[in-house]
């Protein structure tokens, strides 16, 4: 059976980033953008990560330029923006397509498991993966990272 651990992203620095590296941890996969009205969610994502990382949560930011061109930056610019503006300490991937024909295979898998709820409709869509690589839940872009629905799901998956 396929799990999230079967997929590999490219890290922001160009290195391979297999999700299997996070086996035994819960992972909140979030497609991000630096020029979106929802960009302040980086602050909540970092708070969520800080609050739960010692219990086994990883937040994985997936920069994407597919929604109104709101992530036109290079990987180096994204790294600088996230570090200086929001003190992001969680891992980030290279820019990645998350919808339509060119989407990363992880997103096709997530849709197959969770249905339409897993299909990003805008920046800051969230997919929670459990410690065994199972798809647990999906949250829409306007669901804040510290919303009780997210924190309750994260706590239950840890």
CATH number at residue 33: 3.40.30.10
Q: What is the structure's pLDDT at 156?
A: 98
The predicted-structure confidence for 12-35, as pLDDT tens digits, reads as follows: 999 999 999 999 999 999 999 999
Q: What are the residue ranges in the chain where pLDDT is below 50?
A: none
Tokens 């065994």, residue located: 132
Q: What is the structure's pLDDT at 73?
A: 96
Could you give the 3-state DSSP secondary structure of residue 129? Answer: strand
Q: What is the structure's pLDDT at 98?
A: 98
User: Which residues lie closer than 8 Å to 82 by C-beta, 6 or more apart?
Assistant: 34, 42, 61, 88, 92
Catalytic (active-site) positions = 36
What's phi and psi for 27, nearest 5 deg? Answer: -130, 125
Length of the chain in residues, anyone?
Answer: 158
Q: What is the structure's pLDDT at 84?
A: 96
Model pTM score? 0.98
Q: What is the structure's pLDDT at 130?
A: 98
Domain that residue 142 falls in: 4-157
If one counts the domains in the chain, the total is 1
Residue 107 host element (H or E): helix 105-114
């Amino acid at each position: 059976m396929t799990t999230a651990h079967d997929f590999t992203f490219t890290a922001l620095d160009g290195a391979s980033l297999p999700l299997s590296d996070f086996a035994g941890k819960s992972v909140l996969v979030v497609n991000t953008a630096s020029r979106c009205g929802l960009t302040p969610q980086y602050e909540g994502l970092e708070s969520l990560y800080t609050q739960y990382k010692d219990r086994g949560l990883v937040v994985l930011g997936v920069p994407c330029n597919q929604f109104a061109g709101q992530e036109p930056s290079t990987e180096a610019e994204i790294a600088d923006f996230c570090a200086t503006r929001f003190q992001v300490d969680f891992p980030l991937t290279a820019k990645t397509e998350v919808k339509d024909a060119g989407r990363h295979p992880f997103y096709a898998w997530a849709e197959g498991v969770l249905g339409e709820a897993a299909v990003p409709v805008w920046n800051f869509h969230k997919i929670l993966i459990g410690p065994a690589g199972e798809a647990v839940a999906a949250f829409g872009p306007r669901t804040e990272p510290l919303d009780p629905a997210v924190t309750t799901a994260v706590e239950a998956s840890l």
